[in-house]
Amino acid sequence: MHDPSQQTLRVLGVPQELDEGPEVLRERACRQAGIRPQDLVGMRLALRSLDARRSRGILRFVCHVDLVVRTVHHSSALQKALRSGRVREAPVDQALEMPPTRRGGPPRQAVVVGSGPAGLFAALTLARNGAGVTLIDRGASLEQRHKRLVPFHRGGELDPDTNLLFGEGGAGTYSDGKLYTRVQDPLEQAILQELVLAGAPPEILYDGRAHIGTDRLHRILPALRQSLLDAGATILWDTKLEGMGFRKGPARRIDRVFTNRGELACDALFLALGHSARDTVEALSEQGLELAAKPFQFGVRIEHPQELINAGRFGEHPLAANLGAASYNLALKGEADVAGAHTFCMCPGGKIVASISEPGLLCTNGMSNSTHSSPFANAAVVTTIEPAAFAPFGTGPLAGLAFQRHFERSFFEAGGSSYRAPAQRVSDFLAGQASREVGRTSYTFGTTPGRIDHLLPAPIRAALARGLQRFDQLLPGFGGNSGILVGVESRSSSPLRMVRDRDTYLATGFENCYPIGEGAGYAGGIMSAAIDGARAAQVRLSQSSIR
């Protein structure tokens, strides 16, 4: 309930030493904002990030602190802080549940396709607000998914419907569960709260490097599934969307969908397919779903001993051991003749996995457990490629998929056609020479020394080489011979967008189809996908019921 005698102010950039507690932080935030302790009603940590600039001997936290204060007293110091931008009104969070006044007519038979974060949170938002919801996924429930992955990891036998990308929880189910691709959306806290209720640690509500880890994700997903069932949704596993059926008439109004298990009635379709459902995208495109090519990230995975990253980030700081495995986030801007490069999806204490859903292709990604306990640190090192670069590989907006497939196949073959991955020492990649051996990596299927410098197209090789040289200056040893490149990392983002209206979220030319999440081109991580799904559901719910 809003109390007009109080207001919440967000104090930005409050430093906190590693050994300081909440009292010190509270005092410092009050001082920084010019708030008298007697005017303070409450405090909440909104964000805590690690500031690790070894070159300047800095290793501490930097926090955004929300202070609930009595509105009666605004000191001149507070006025000044507000004017300077160091303090501002805290944003108002939104709930998944909408006030009845904002709801139009909820769909009676919404079909949500895909149980990744976008589909899960779209389904939960729809069901909590009175819609009839059926959530379908081509893959298996978590328990079955785990079992069905065994033949792949033991013998390379890939199931095209249940794998590391498809099945309950979507692509992030076997991941680091990083939650920091945040987009400053009012729905963010509601989603994080939902994860905490399902068993995630409460620190995710403010930790700037929050991650859940695969082990904990596997305890959280069944609880989220139960919330969905409690809200009245139906869930169908091993159920693959194959096509849409339309009501007779001039406009494209879906009234049923076709699946491998029969037809389902549908008066609102949410497509949360992820970035790897190439077969479904091709089928839906043939039925009139408008697609557009978009830039995407392409490169390789890089792995180092975790110790090297810890030393580079934390140095000899006596309290560094309390911080766990160090992570990094490195970027270099492009220049006129060479594109920029950046690291992405860094997994401290993690392992490299084969994130594929089609046999005969290879694509790497990273995962880790909540304790970050493996001795390896891996990340994607990628560059952004523009549609012009992949246009020669195929026709229209599907050219990006053809480009990905081409390189995924050549890396698969270079690894020996057995899901082993080609690998090259960073120092050899930079020197343009073969690695005689690459030593042990964490990659599930093992590696074979390969010429990654030859396998990558020249402009991508040039961008990555320039990036790696710069990153070696920022993190000593990064570009040395203990760094190993493993590839290919071709699916860090989607090469296409399902075109939708900015306000209604409706797919172009459709009356009741909502493309959402990463595969639709509107998200790039667990949080942004979840937010996009929940937001699209709220947008649909706020519309009056469709004729």
Could you list the residues that contact ligand FAD (CB under 6 A)? Answer: 113-119, 136-139, 165-167, 170-172, 174-178, 181, 240-241, 272-274, 277, 280, 345, 353, 355, 365-367, 517-519, 523, 525-527, 529
Between 368 and 424, CB nearer to ligand FAD = 368
Question: Closest distance between ligand FAD and the C-beta of residue 55, in Å?
Answer: 28
Tokens of 226: 């139960």
H or E element, residue 50: strand 40-53
Rounded to a whole number of angstroms, the minimum distance from the CB of residue 381 to ligand FAD is: 15
- The SS3 of residue 11 is strand
Rounded CA-CA distance 224/212 in Å is 14
Report, in Å, the least distance between residue 160 CB and ligand FAD: 10
> Dmax over Cα atoms in the chain, in whole Å?
72
- Distance, in Å, from the CA atom of 311 to the CA atom of 303, rounded to the nearest integer, reads 15
- Comparing CB distances to ligand FAD, the nearer of 90 and 498 is 498
Q: How far is the CB of 211 from ligand FAD (least distance, A)?
A: 6
Angstrom distance (rounded) from CA 107 to CA 136: 16
The CA distance from 191 to 194, in Å, is 5
In the complex with ligand FAD, the residue whose CB is nearer, 415 or 525, is 525
Comparison of 211 and 466: residue with beta carbon closer to ligand FAD: 211
- Closest to ligand FAD by CB, 365 vs 384, is 365
Smallest distance, ligand FAD to C-beta of residue 46, A: 19
Helix (H, G, I), strand (E, B) or coil at 48: strand
Side-chain half-sphere CA neighbours of 404 within 13 A: 30
Which of 87, 496 has the CB closer to ligand FAD? 496
How is the chain split among helix, strand and coil, in percent rounded to 5?
Answer: 35, 25, 40
Cβ neighbours around 83 below 10 Å, total: 9
Residue pair 258/245 in contact (Cβ under 8 Å)? The answer is yes
CB 514, min distance to ligand FAD, A? 13
The two tokens of residue 415 are 């690894």
3 state DSSP class of 422: strand
CB of 236 to ligand FAD, least distance (A): 9
Shortest spacing between CB 250 and ligand FAD, in angstroms: 27
- Dist. CA 420–CA 439, nearest whole Å: 14
CA nearest 455: which of 427, 478, 485?
485
Q: Residue 77 or 180: which CB sits closer to ligand FAD?
A: 180
Buried-state track 341-358, b at ≥16 Cβ within 10 A, e below 16: bbbbbbbbbbbbbbbbbb
The number of beta carbons lying within 10 Å of the beta carbon of residue 339 is 20
DSSP helix/strand/coil, 264:
strand
CB of 368 to ligand FAD, least distance (A): 8
Sign of CA dihedral 39, 42, 47, 50: positive
Q: How far is the CB of 524 from ligand FAD (least distance, A)?
A: 6
Q: Tally the C-alpha atoms within 13 A of residue 246's C-alpha that lie toward its C-beta.
A: 14
Three-class SS of residue 473? helix
Q: What angle do CA 401, 403, 405 make, to 5 degrees?
A: 70
Closest separation between CB of residue 308 and ligand FAD, Å? 21
> Which residues 6+ apart lie within 8 Å of 283 measured at CB?
242, 243
Shortest approach of ligand FAD to residue 50 CB, angstroms? 17
In our burial notation (b when 16+ CB lie closer than 10 A, e otherwise), range 174-200 reads bbbbbbbeeeebebbbbbbbbbeebeb
C-alpha distances out from residue 331 to 181, 334, 341, 473, 505, Å = 15, 10, 6, 12, 32
Contact 535, 185 (CB under 8 A): yes
> Whole-number minimum distance, CB 313 to ligand FAD, in Å?
18
